[in-house]
Amino acid sequence: MPVKIAIPTPLRPYTENRDIIEVDGQTVKELLENMSTRYPQLRRHLFSEDGRLRSFINIYVNDEDIRYLDGENTKVKESDFISIVPAIAGGN
Amino acid sequence: MHREVELTREEFLRYGRHLIMPEVGLKGQKKLKSASVLIVGAGGLGSSLAFYLTAAGVGRIGIVDFDVVDLSNLQRQIIHTTRDVGRSKLESAREKLSALNPSVEIETYETRLTSENAIEIIKDYDIVVDGTDNFPTRYLVNDACVLLKKPNVYGSIFRFEGQVSVFYAEKGPCYRCLYQEPPPPGLVPSCAEGGVLGVLPGIIGTIQALEVIKLILGIGEPLIGKLLLFDALKMRFRELKLRKNPSCPVCGENPTIKELIDYEEFCGITPERILHELGFEITAEELKSKLENGENIILIDVREPHEYEINRIHGSRLIPLSELPEKVNELDQTSEIVLYCKMGGRSARAVQFLRELGFTRVKNLAGGIDAWIEKVDPSMPKY
Ligand SMILES: [Zn+2]
C-alpha cells in the first residue's frame, strides 16, 4: 500500500531531488525503513547511530506529530500524507 | 505594556487605513504605538519585518545585529542599498526606518546576542522576533523568551522553503518542544551554503510581522501551537500541529534549564574546527605553493554542479558531497587529496567521511574557494 511522503528541501539531494516519494508500509517505521532502503544515504540523516530517529527531525502523519500518536509504530493508510520536517535555521 | 498614548494629527492621517477598520481602530493603533518589539537580526527576515512594523506604527523597535552590509546581501535584504555596502547594518536600517516613520523610536544593539546580554536586552520588550540565521542564537532566543515569559515570533528559511510559528510558553509550546536538540553542525547547510530565493525572506518576514501585529492587537488566531510551512515552488502553505512537550527541558513540568546556557557548546563543535585542531586542513596559500611546486595533489570540489559552473580551482574534479559515498572507490587511499567547497563546511564533512574510511592523506581547504579567491586568485568570480 503506497503512502506519500513529503521530502524537505535539505534532504532532497539524497532522494534524487524528488519532493514527494511513495513507499509501501503499514506503519511509519516501515515507511522510513523502505524509504531508506531505496535511498540509502537518507538513513544516516534520519537516524542516529543507535537507530533512533534524530531529534532535529519530526515526522508528521497529516498534521499530527508522531510523538503524540504512536511514535514510529503509528499506523498509516493510503490516504495519509507523511511529512518530514527538519529544523532549519536560515534567516539571513 | 500599554502606557497611555495619544495620536498626533499627523498620525491620524498616517494610520487612517488602520483607524477605519474596527479590528484596529483608534484603540488598536494606540496599542501599536505603546508596544515594543525586538527584532533579532537585520538580515533577510529582519528587512521586511522591520519595514512593516515601522510602517504600522509600533512605538518602539529594537534591532540586534553586528554585521556589515555586503554586496551579496542585497539580493534579499531590501532594507540595505548598494550605497550601504560596507556600512553597519544597524546604521543602514535605522536610516531607512526613520525615513519611513520618524515617530517610531528605533533602538539598536550592535552586538551578537549572547547568554550574557540576552536577558538584559530582551526584558524591556513586549515581543521578540527571531530573524537570526543559526541554531545557537535560535535556542538562545527561545530560552530567554521562555524565562522572561515573552512571545517569540519565529521564522526560518532554506532555499525556497520557510517555517513560521509563535512560540509562547505561557500559552503553548516553545521551540525546544518542537526540536529538543539542534542538528550537529555541518549536517544542515546554511543559507550561505545552500542558497535562498531572494523573495522568500520577504514572504516569511512579512508573515512574522503580521503575527506580531496580531499579538499586539489581540485579534485573530496567532500561530501559537501551529507550525506554518511554506513551499514557494509549489505555492503551498501547510499547517502542522505543535504541542507542548511536558518533558521540555525549558518549558516543561520539570525544567532542567533555569538560566541561559552555553549555546555554542550545546550546538556542538563544527567539523571545520575539529579538522583545524587536528591539523587536517591546508590554507589557500599552502595549496597554491604545493601546486606550483608540481606536487601530485588530487583536488576535489564537493559542491553542487551549478556552483562548480560559477568558479572552480583549476584541475579540480567535481564530486558533490551527496555523491561521494558511491564514488569513493574511484579514489586512491594513499594519494594526497585536498577537498574544498564554498566556505569549508561541506568539505570538512567529506574529509571526516574519507578519514573514517582509512584515507590518511586527505585535507580540507580552510575557508573553501572563498578563501582561495581572497588569498590567491581575486580575479575569480565570487558568489
Ligand atoms: Zn518547550
Query: Could you report the per-residue pLDDT of B343-373, keeping only the tens digit for each?
Result: 998 899 899 889 989 899 999 999 999 999 9
pLDDT at residue B2, as a whole number: 52
As a whole number, the mean pLDDT across chain B is: 94
Distance CA B135, CA B116 (A): 17
Query: Could you report the per-residue pLDDT of A45-91, keeping only the tens digit for each?
Result: 899 888 889 889 999 999 999 999 999 999 999 999 999 999 988 88
Phi-psi category of residue B110: left, alpha or beta, with phi > 0 → left and psi -120 to 50 → alpha: beta
Query: Within a domain: residue B62?
Result: yes
Query: Within a domain: residue B380?
Result: no
Please name the residue of chain B whose CA is at the shortest distance from the CA of residue A17: B322
Together in a domain, B47 and B110: yes
Q: Strand A57-61 to strand A81-86: parallel, antiparallel, or no bridges (unpaired)?
A: antiparallel
Question: How many structural domains are present in chain B?
Answer: 2
Domains (ranges, CATH) in chain A? 2-86 (3.10.20.30)
Cell 551549478 appears where? B306
Please name the residue of chain A whose CA is at the shortest distance from the CA of residue B179: A56
Together in a domain, B154 and B213: yes
Single residue among B267, B285, B300 that ends a domain in this structure = B267
- Which domain does B306 fall in, by range? 271-375
Distance CA B370, CA B362 (A): 20
User: Looking at the predicted structure, is the pLDDT value of residue B137 above 60?
Assistant: yes
Q: Which residues lie below 8 Å from residue A2, measured CB to CB, with a gap of 6+?
A: A22, A23, A24, A78
Look up residue B120 and give its three cell numbers.
538584559
- Between chains, do B188 and A10 touch, taking CB under 8 Å as contact? yes
Q: How far B242 CA sits from the closest chain A CA (Å)?
A: 7
Q: How far A23 CA sits from the closest chain B CA (Å)?
A: 21
Please name the residue of chain A whose CA is at the shortest distance from the CA of residue B208: A91
Together in a domain, B83 and B169: yes
Together in a domain, B83 and B229: yes
Q: Which of B50-59, B145-154, B177-186, B314-323 has the lowest mean pLDDT?
A: B177-186
pLDDT at residue B268, as a whole number: 77
Distance CA B186, CA B340 (A): 14
Neighbours of B1 (CB within 10 A): 9
- Between chains, do A87 and B44 touch, taking CB under 8 Å as contact? no
Phi-psi category of residue B362: left, alpha or beta, with phi > 0 → left and psi -120 to 50 → alpha: beta
Q: Residue B65, SS3?
A: strand
As a whole number, the mean pLDDT across chain A is: 93
CATH of the domain at B185: 3.40.50.720
For range B19-40, the mean pLDDT: 97
User: Looking at the predicted structure, is the pLDDT value of residue B72 above 90?
Assistant: yes
Query: Within a domain: residue B381?
Result: no
Q: Taking the model in full, what pTM does it have?
A: 0.85
Query: Within a domain: residue B12?
Result: no
- Is the Cβ–Cβ distance between A5 and A39 less than 8 Å? no
pLDDT at residue A21, as a whole number: 96
Distance B60 CA to ligand 1 centre (A): 28
Query: Could you report the per-residue pLDDT of B91-122, keeping only the tens digit for each?
Result: 999 999 999 999 999 999 999 999 999 999 99
Q: How far A12 CA sits from the closest chain B CA (Å)?
A: 10
| B239 contacts in chain A (CB < 8 Å) | 63
For range B190-195, the mean pLDDT: 70
**Complex ipTM tops 0.85:** yes
